[in-house]
Amino acid sequence: MTVASLPQKTAWKAYSDWANNHRKWLFAAPAMIFVAILIIFPLAWTLYLSLTDSSGSVRAESDFIGFANYLEVLSDGDRFWPAVGRTFLFTGAALAVQMVLGMCIALLLWRPFKGEKWVRVAILLPLVATPVAVGMMWRLIFDPNIGFANQALAWFGIPAQPWLSGQSTALPTVIFIDIWQWTPMVVIILLAGLTSLSEEPDEAARIDGASAWQRFRFITVPLMMPTIIVAILLRSIDALKTFDLLYATKGRGGGSFHEVETLNIYAYGLSFDYNDYGLSSTVLILFFLIIIAAMWVLTRRRKDVQS
């Protein structure tokens, strides 16, 4: 009987129609729900924790103390502000060198040459290497007694350096390691930008007698500006949040003198070494605001460039 199968068929059809009509949200919903549960909710919780004196055990009772944590953190010149300074120094220095070096290497690789493929592979390897392993590798190379770095310095008659174990040399050394690992990322992004450039402006300037430097400065760089800013944006997001490398090379609290303690390391330590969740959440909220502010400034620049 068709009567029996008909309702079933229409039910399927109705379901299918419904799914098709609502596919926009049906498709997006699982990911959105995942994000809401695992990201939005923890973020809201962090905001709440930052207003409490939660500490000790995660299950312990805590009191709502308003903005007391914020006052404490913002007036903390021992750990918080130096950590802010180091975060910016680390990010700024690493980023500046990576951009300049990245641009130079990208320009070198721009025109085709023999063996190009191998050079590109060589550049890709640091980028995919596990940061913790990279940290350990450099720990050996920079070891003051047995490391290759001091051995190489000795060839040139330069006295041995403490590198990672020195109070003032640790931060520059981790900046160097970050540069080694992440310059390739900048190279890859800039190279993609260079290869998609149109040739005409460069050609025209060449015919007009512009020098190589002039063409680079007044033609290539302005045309590349949107790509350059994307590279800066992506790199600064990751550099601000660097954790693996710093924790692998210097351990808890960024070393015994907090030499490489950035905001991320500081917040992690507050939570998981001192179990001071309230204070840690406060640092994290402030850190998050700093990241947002940095992104906002960069996107504004990008819009200016584009218009």
Among candidate residues 187, 147, 191, 186, the one with its CA nearest the CA of residue 169: 147
Give the range of 21-29, 69-77, 88-96, 159-167 binding other proteins by CB under 8 A: 21-29
Burial class (CB in 10 A: 0-12, 13-18, 19+), 14: exposed
Of 6, 14, 74, 133, the residue at the interface with other proteins (CB under 8 A) is: 133
207 lies in the site for other proteins, by CB under 8 A: no
222 lies in the site for other proteins, by CB under 8 A: no
- Residue closer to other proteins by CB (options 72, 244) is 244
DSSP 165: G
DSSP H stretches of helix in the chain? 2-21, 23-35, 41-49, 68-74, 80-110, 116-128, 131-141, 148-155, 170-195, 200-207, 212-215, 221-240, 244-250, 263-272, 277-306
Total of residues contacting other proteins (CB under 8 A) = 102
CA distance 240 to 295: 11
Residues 58-77 close enough to bind other proteins by CB under 8 A = 58-59
Q: How many residues are there in the chain?
A: 307
282 lies in the site for other proteins, by CB under 8 A: no
Residues forming beta bridges with residue 52, ordered by sequence position: 64
Give the range of 2-10, 67-75, 160-168, 285-293 binding other proteins by CB under 8 A: 285-293
Contact status, residue 263 vs residue 84, Cβ threshold 8 Å: yes
> 255 vs 78, 146, 193, 261, CA distance in Å?
15, 20, 39, 7
230 lies in the site for other proteins, by CB under 8 A: yes
Of 12, 15, 27, 81, the residue at the interface with other proteins (CB under 8 A) is: 27
301 lies in the site for other proteins, by CB under 8 A: no
111 lies in the site for other proteins, by CB under 8 A: yes
18 lies in the site for other proteins, by CB under 8 A: no
Of 6, 14, 71, 132, the residue at the interface with other proteins (CB under 8 A) is: 132
Q: How far is the CB of 284 from other proteins (least distance, A)?
A: 4
121 lies in the site for other proteins, by CB under 8 A: yes
- Residue closer to other proteins by CB (options 1, 155) is 155
110 lies in the site for other proteins, by CB under 8 A: yes
Beta-carbon contacts of 149 under 8 Å, excluding residues fewer than 6 positions away, are 141, 142, 161, 163
CA distance 261 to 251: 10
Give the range of 3-11, 68-76, 159-167, 187-195 binding other proteins by CB under 8 A: 187-195
User: Tokens 């980028």 identify what position?
Assistant: 127
CA distance 290 to 269: 19
* Single-letter amino acid, residue 149: A
Q: How far is the CB of 222 from other proteins (least distance, A)?
A: 13
Give the range of 72-80, 90-98, 214-222, 225-233 binding other proteins by CB under 8 A: 225-233
Q: How far is the CB of 1 from other proteins (least distance, A)?
A: 27
Give the range of 61-69, 77-85, 92-100, 287-295 binding other proteins by CB under 8 A: 287-295
Gyration radius from the chain CA atoms = 26
Give the range of 20-28, 78-86, 155-163, 164-172 binding other proteins by CB under 8 A: 20-28
305 lies in the site for other proteins, by CB under 8 A: no
